[in-house]
Amino acid sequence: MGMTMTQKILAAHAGLDEVRAGQLIEADLDLVLGNDITSPVAIQEMEKFNKETVFNKDKIALVMDHFAPNKDIKSAENCKCCRDFAARHEISNYFDVGEMGIEHALLPEKGLVVAGDAVIGADSHTCTYGALGAFSTGVGSTDMAAGMVTGKAWFKVPSAIKFELIGKPSKWVSGKDVILHIIGMIGVDGALYKSMEFTGDGIKNLTMDDRFTICNMAIEAGGKNGIFPVDELAIQYMKDHSKREFKIFEADGDAEYEEVYTIDLEKLEPTISFPHLPENTRTIGTFDEIKVDQAVIGSCTNGRLDDMRIAAAVLKGRKVAKNVRCIVIPATQEIYLQSMREGLLEIFIEAGAIVSTPTCGPCLGGYMGILAKGERCISTTNRNFVGRMGHVESEVYLASPAVAAASAVTGHISAPEELGL
């Protein structure tokens, strides 16, 4: 029996000719990632190992993004812990205020992940990098600590689900709608500890930013990882952003999949995830009017340049509704700068939105957009659990940048078509 794309990458990193689903392996790592919330715990654990330094100062990335710029004393201490650790061990890839960004947008932009890599990160959305044909997955802080010391990690080889994408999405349907549709279809545990492998002719109609978004939310279906085949678009992205060599792995024709789904992108409609689980999805036009108090456009899921452009296309020449707070967060300094060059920031501000420095802040209910009791937010983030963005009696509705921007204008959950677009 052949191997899936993920299984081939894991076999190569374990020094094995082949692996099988359920097999326990020890794999070499190409990158270990942590942020300002998870890294301090890993650093404390690492110090218990009595090791003088890390396995490779060039293969560790520490990104200050959740509470940076610091919102309080505790967040300042966490960042200082990471800053001191990075200086002490001469960590090459340490990103702080002024050069930081939201980690899962920043690392591909900096060329730190390429096809064929095996990556762990102490953040559940590390699965984002599967868009480049890498195996990447989230781990706990203790596993991050072990990875920083040894350069290795233990894995149970995942079984796989194949999603064959066909057709071309309509104008206002994006990668966010694709992954919300899939999660709504299979549920938040539908791919539990499985590899979500995307194939099909429809992939050519998805941008790299679409693919990053889809892989980013694989964890919201319980997936161990999400992964796309490496096509010309992915190769060009890596050539534009990285000087590293990459290796392309392809699934065998007789690879085994637990399930196979075919998804016609042409038939998808703008999709919204209702509180309080990502699987609780509905499409525009199937529910009564839902007023919103806040719109957030950003995060590791939808803070990329395509997302900024889409939101600006909807907001241009329009005004955010009087009682709505619209918060736009470019995911990296480079995206912020390019948005400025293209005039997108001017569009946001003239529409009545605010533009924030790159941060994860509102997504996890940290700062820069906390919800009060009874408030509703339409958000391009990735989770809408109870109390996720603030008060336990607030509500978060997940959607694409197009829907979030349109909703900010109308004051209720809307598709761009409602604005005549």
Domains 5-263 and 272-419 share a fold: yes
CA gap 162, 137 in Å, rounded: 18
CA gap 138, 15 in Å, rounded: 22
User: 105 is written with which tokens?
Assistant: 């947008």
CA gap 392, 92 in Å, rounded: 40
End-to-end CA distance of the chain: 50
CATH code of the domain made up of 5-263: 3.30.499.10
Cα-flanking dihedrals φ and ψ of residue 245, to 5°? Answer: -75, 145
Cα-flanking dihedrals φ and ψ of residue 261, to 5°? Answer: -120, 140
Options 3.40.50.10860, 3.30.499.10, 3.30.360.10, 3.40.50.300; CATH of 272-419? 3.30.499.10
Please list the residues that pair with 340 across neighbouring strands.
none
User: 35 is written with which tokens?
Assistant: 């942020």
Residue 20, helix vs strand vs coil: coil
pLDDT, one tens digit for every residue, the chain (421 residues): 799 999 999 999 999 999 999 999 999 999 999 999 999 999 999 888 877 899 999 999 999 999 999 999 999 999 999 999 999 999 999 999 998 899 999 999 999 999 999 999 999 999 999 999 999 999 999 999 999 999 999 999 999 999 999 999 999 999 999 999 999 999 999 999 999 999 999 999 999 999 999 999 999 999 999 999 999 999 999 999 999 999 999 999 999 999 999 999 999 999 999 999 999 999 998 999 999 999 999 999 999 999 999 999 999 999 999 999 999 999 999 999 999 999 999 999 999 999 999 999 999 999 999 999 999 999 999 999 999 999 999 999 999 999 999 999 999 999 999 999 8
Residue 305, helix vs strand vs coil: helix
DSSP 8-state class, residue 287: S
**Domain-by-domain residue ranges, the chain?**
5-263, 272-419
CA gap 262, 193 in Å, rounded: 21
Closest CA to 257 of 199, 203, 209: 199
